Amino acid sequence: MLNILIAEGTPALWQKEHARFAIPSNFSLFAAAVRLHRPYAHCTLLNIADGEALPFGTALSDFDGVMLPGSPLHIYDATPAVTRQIDFARAAFAAGVSVWGSCWGLQLATVALGGSVRRNPRGRELPIARAVTVTEAGRAHPLLATRPAVFDALCSHLDEIETLPPNSQVLAANELSAIQAVATRTRWRGSFLGTQYHPEHTLAVSAALIEMRANELVEEGFGASPPEIVAIAADYRALDAEPTRRDLIWRYGIASEIMDPVRRSAEVGNWLRTVVKPRRFLA
């Protein structure tokens, strides 16, 4: 049985605000994605944003893999909630554990390994990363082995990778972000794989994020008024509840790569299947 540590990057106070819009915790989203592909995996929560420590007598090397989820934080803000996460990521790499991250997790790992992150000059990408295109390196990499050459994915981000750390490969890109998936070899025994999009998200999560940010989205030109944005969120929520709604699938151009939960979370499954190995079996 795999033993996976999910390192929460959202402070608890922020999570309470998210809960008002029915946004599940990152831990629950990641654990669900893991168990979709590995039903008997054991997932452990650690809120590193709030400075939680591993249980007494537990080391990072006791885990088969570490997962870094999303966060509303910005990696270029040198607050304690950010800097302690950078330190944690470096410790995970130094322990030789395989690390996975999406969105904030990708940005966190990038900075921890020597790269940089900026606010995306092209603006916000929400709720779908359109036409994510697999690069030549990506076509040969197991992370994207089950993805078509071009696909859509659920996403939500304002920031993007500016410079990659050493020994990194761009596995996928699209018009809004030149770096949508990355593989990095660390100077320790471990590795990092990550995406800018969110394989763990659901349409209900996208709906909640749209509704929560309705005023911001109007200011950014995504709609004429908050009620218009909230109506879009309601459609996403309805489609999550009734995945056979062809009218909504057609209206928003939502591809089967998003509608199918297994295909939507393919990167998590591929990481678990091809990279993560039970450490108790390793010499």
Note the pLDDT tens digit of each residue in 119-140. 999 999 999 999 999 999 999 9
Q: What is the mean pLDDT of residues 242-268?
A: 97
Query: Residue 145 in 3-state DSSP?
Result: coil
To the nearest 10 degrees (0 to 180), the angle between helices 26-37 and 266-274 is 60
pLDDT of residue 280: 59
Q: Which residues of 17-54 are buried (b: 16+ CB within 10 A; e: fewer)?
A: ebeeeebbbbbebbbbbbebbbeebebbebbbbbeeee
Q: Where in the chain is the domain with CATH 3.40.50.880?
A: 3-118+161-171+179-201+260-281
Chain position carrying tokens 């795999």: 2
Q: Which 8-state DSSP code applies to residue 20? A: T
CATH class of 3-118+161-171+179-201+260-281: alpha beta
Chain position carrying tokens 């030109």: 221
Contacts of 68 (CB under 8 A, 6+ apart): 7, 9, 89, 99, 100, 101, 102, 104, 105, 106, 108, 109, 194
Q: 144-176: per-residue pLDDT in tens?
A: 999 999 999 999 999 999 999 999 999 999 999
What whole-number distance in Å separates Cα of residue 141 and Cα of residue 24?
31
What percent of the chain stands above pLDDT 70? 98
Reported pTM? 0.96
